[in-house]
Structure 1
């Protein structure tokens, strides 16, 4: 909860006051037009970094914007005794467009394994979180806690899920999009944090991604596993903090994962 409150305090101090108050000088393209960074991303991460340096002085800090400035940080994550991985504003494109669908996220990694994950929603002012082996929880600032569980399995034709096709192989994208006609509904919120929140709250049967930056997925994967879901890279192997490619598919159970991998996300 100390780490959860650090995320909340930073988002409320830096991200919310700037929401829908950015001008063009405060928004910048990082790698392409759909990959943005704003003044709020940097300011929010700086607050989190400073607070974590005091609270967990021995932890390696791996923030999305810190890695943009020093890519070598990312290579240290796999071997760190203790690390905190942070996305100050997940869904920056939504945030910059004035859409209230963004999150502040953190994961704690120890010796190459994710041991805790937190996704904070600044607009709803609550967290979904998990510690390894302790279940997945929705927590509110008043102390209320609700245990989370993924949805029941449905036939493929009735499944609802979320996937980002933007980073899937171009030569496979058309086939994957055609394959998604086999499920009932496919969505993309442009915010992994809220897609994971939706999944672990029992409102979908799957999520799928191809680009695997750790700040986008470490919190959500652990929370999903603690909520009873099955997660693996698209080759069937375990997803680890050191992975940045290879695709990622989560489903409500292993049988659903196998069916989705075979019928929809075969690339």
Structure 2
């Protein structure tokens, strides 16, 4: 059965309840023992991440039945989970707190992300902001919307393309190896401005709402990018790997460049990478 508008509303409610029960009560109240370092000194996981992921999985299984669950924290325990994304009849991909660095440091810029992937194709995505208590979400073919807590939805549209010197957006370059890292930094001089919120979910929200023109993510993870790429596309944007090939939820490399349309994508690609 196809994932429906009602299903998406229920998924958003699951994210919202997990945030209210497990995330926001801990925001700006974490003890040092509640925060662990993962791959490097600014890559964290907190007790809130772990509790929220457990809550989302349990509630989603009660509502939707059997599916492959790919959570960021579950992936830490079993990296093979992503191997099933391309073929699973249905997968729920979750980042319980995107922007954990911000969350752990009391910065109110984080998000809860979920995507529904069927046979490798992202069919639904939601990015919930626990601070604002609203969600940007999309169904494949159904457009992208901002959903308020009272259920009212507003259609989203990406920003119109502008000359490069007038465009601004987010660029995640920290994981890029040399010489690409230096090339990206030099290429930023060709646009009006570039920034990084340390929260891809918030950057995708800004893109889909027309508040920024472009985004680039070097390191790809399905829990960070599958939902946002769908939402951006349904809001009218154009995205692809740096080599121009289309993005898929199980892609782990190749970068992801997002722009208002194909023409501005090509200009940005040349500015940042050539």
Equivalent position to 2:59, from 39, 47, 51 = 51
C-alpha distance in 2 between matches for 1:119 and 1:252: 20
C-alpha distance in 1 between matches for 2:174 and 2:184: 11
C-alpha distance in 1 between matches for 2:50 and 2:273: 35
C-alpha distance in 2 between matches for 1:168 and 1:81: 33
User: Displaced runs of 4+ in structure 1, greater than 4 A?
Assistant: none
* RMSD over aligned Cα atoms: 0.8
Q: CA deviation at 1:196?
A: 0.4
Gaps of 5+ in 1: none
> What are the equivalent positions in structure 2 for 1:66-105 lying under 5 Å apart?
66-105=74-113
Q: Tell me, yes or no, if structure 1 residue 265 matches structure 2 residue 269.
A: no
Q: Tell me, yes or no, if structure 1 residue 26 matches structure 2 residue 39.
A: no
1:178 is aligned to 186
C-alpha distance in 1 between matches for 2:181 and 2:75: 29
C-alpha distance in 2 between matches for 1:97 and 1:225: 32
> What are the equivalent positions in structure 2 for 1:119-158 lying under 5 Å apart?
119-158=127-166
Task: Give CA deviations for 1:59-89 in whole Å, capped at 9, x if unaligned.
Answer: 1111000111111111111110100000000
**TM-score (normalizing by structure 2):** 0.96
**TM-score (normalizing by structure 1):** 0.98
Matched positions, count: 266
Gaps of 5+ in 2: 1-8
C-alpha distance in 2 between matches for 1:32 and 1:170: 18
2:5 is aligned to none
Task: Give CA deviations for 1:36-71 in whole Å, capped at 9, x if unaligned.
Answer: 100000000000010111112221111000111111
SS for the counterpart of 1:138 is strand
Equivalent position to 1:237, from 239, 245, 250 = 245
SS for the counterpart of 1:78 is coil
SS for the counterpart of 1:235 is coil
